[in-house]
Structure 1
């Protein structure tokens, strides 16, 4: 039995993992989906990048979890990657699901054309609202699934612009990177470099950027199989 801590990306809360969590529990695992500060039922809480790192670390320590697999989807890979190195001997593996990864001193918005996102945050009182429904086409989502994302919580902008803080090379962590091929066939360059490490492995899924909605059973299987890795 493994303790899974699941963290979804921008705009989403713990609710995004309902189907995956059910599959993992059926396989005998303990599952702890986390809602980050400023989102979903925690939308009233102020949040910056390091707040989200603390949210994850605090949940692991509060529950005194051991043999932990930390899972970060999309944006959440940034705080999850930082949290992974901070829980030290509690960590079994970290899994990045079509995710950004932390780079010391850089933010989620660093390294890609993000002017539109920054302007949207400025125009919406410091929050990044979900994109319009048309922006989610081609990702294997149903209309109902798209509507759930579109109607979810605006994301606190400070978490996207605050810098990551790493104390050791990320490539030293035992890690699985799940690449969702409908969102681009190649991992981003920083991930491709990390995948050269003997501690990292690449798994491909033939689906879009939100596999917890489009392929929950397959994603749960990938996560379950990650527990067998050294």
Structure 2
């Protein structure tokens, strides 16, 4: 199966390199996406531009792909399911949940000169970064690509309720599946609560398992792609 990989904020397609290798060894066809404004130098990119790039990859897949979103890009994966519910076999969300209609995409940190730079490790101390050593932290921070303001502050627009028919896998890294179920039951993630088929899987990592647990993550994604 084609597996489309969408990295979260400040990351480009290279964040998935080790996962791509492992997925290929498991006989899948991974495609790591370079998003407008996150790897192609387009500082003026918007959320609509990123959605269009994801949809182009969905449309180019020979069959129904599984779309994988990491962190904030969980919302991008879900926007693809909203726009192409009949073309997507499954969405897999790693370390995040899709925003609801009308919410900002990722307006989490201060923007400067039209971009949202990586804020340093302070906001991510604790479970998010517990498994990152100094070398990994330095590598991620030095490669971080400032996110265009038009992406971070873009408004999420969801229109087709057939998205709730697309099966969903929640990969739970810095939080557990039990915690995720609690947030869903409490009404904190309404898009997931309305999805008809949601599976959960834990992975013993921080927020960036593609860096610290790439082979294990690939095996989880491969299993999810096979079980469609």
What's the TM-score, normalizing by structure 1? 0.85
- Please provide the CA RMSD for this pair: 2.3
Unaligned runs of 5+ in 2: none
Deviation at 1:34, TM superposition (A): 0.3
* Structure 1 unmatched ranges of 5 or more: none
4+ residue runs of structure 1 moved beyond 4 angstroms?
A: 134-137, 182-185
Partners of 2:195 and 2:85 in 1: CA distance: 19
* Partner secondary structure for residue 226 of structure 2: coil
Which residue does 2:170 correspond to in 1? 177
Q: CA deviation at 1:87?
A: 2.6
CA contact (8 A) 2:45 2:151 kept: yes
- Tell me the residue number matched to 1:77: 74
Say how many residue pairs are matched: 218
Q: 2:123 matched to 1:141?
A: no
Query: What secondary structure is seen at the aligned counterpart in 2 of 1:90?
Result: coil
1:154 aligns to what?
Answer: 146
TM-score normalized with structure 2 length: 0.86
Name the CA distance, whole Å, in 2 between partners of 1:96 and 1:156. 22
CA distance, structure 1, for counterparts of residue 78 and residue 51 of structure 2 = 9
Measured against aligned partners, the alpha-carbon deviations of 1:141-199 in whole angstroms (never above 9, x if no partner) come to 12222112212211112212111111234433211011113599723554377257441
CA distance in 1, matches of 2:155, 2:176: 25
Task: Name the structure 2 match of 1:107.
Answer: 104
Q: CA 1:109–1:227 in 2, change beyond 3 Å: closer, same or farther?
A: closer
Whole-angstrom CA distance in 2 between matches of 1:24 and 1:227 = 11
Give CA deviations for 1:182-219 in whole Å, capped at 9, x if unaligned.
59972355437725744111112221110100111111
Q: Contact 2:167 / 2:195 at 8 angstroms: preserved in 1?
A: no
Q: Hey, what does 2:192 align to over in structure 1?
A: 194
Q: Residue 178 of structure 1: SS of its match in structure 2? A: strand
Asked if the contact 1:182–1:206 (Cα under 8 Å) also holds between the matched residues in 2, the reply is no
Aligned residue for 1:130, secondary structure, equals coil
**Structure 2 residue aligned with 1:17:** 16
CA distance in 2, matches of 1:162, 1:68: 25
Equivalent residue in structure 1 for 2:156, among 147, 164, 168: 164
Find the aligned partners of 1:197 and 1:53 in 2 and give their Cα distance. 21
